[in-house]
Amino acid sequence: MSTAVGVVRSPQWLRTTPWLTVAALAIPMAAADSFWLISMRGATGEIERAQGPFAHWWQMTLLLVPVVGAAVAAALALARRRFGAAVGSGRALLVTALLVALAGTLVGVLATAVNMGIDYYLQADELRRVAWSHFHAATPAPAGVVASCDATCQAQRATLSVHARALALLAPLVLLTNVVVVGWLVALGGGRLATARFRGRVPSRVTA
Q: List the chain pLDDT tens, one digit each, 208 residues.
A: 444 444 445 566 566 788 899 999 999 999 999 999 998 888 777 676 767 788 889 999 999 999 999 999 999 988 888 877 666 668 888 999 999 999 999 999 999 999 988 888 888 777 777 666 665 554 555 555 544 455 677 777 888 888 889 899 999 999 999 999 999 999 888 888 887 775 544 444 444 3
Rounded (10°) CA dihedral 49, 54, 58, 61: 60
Please report the DSSP string for 182-208 in residue order. HHHHHHHTTS-EE-S---SSPPPPB--
Residue 66 in contact with residue 30, Cβ under 8 Å? no
pTM of the model: 0.75
Separation between Cα atoms, residue 206 and residue 27, nearest integer Å: 26
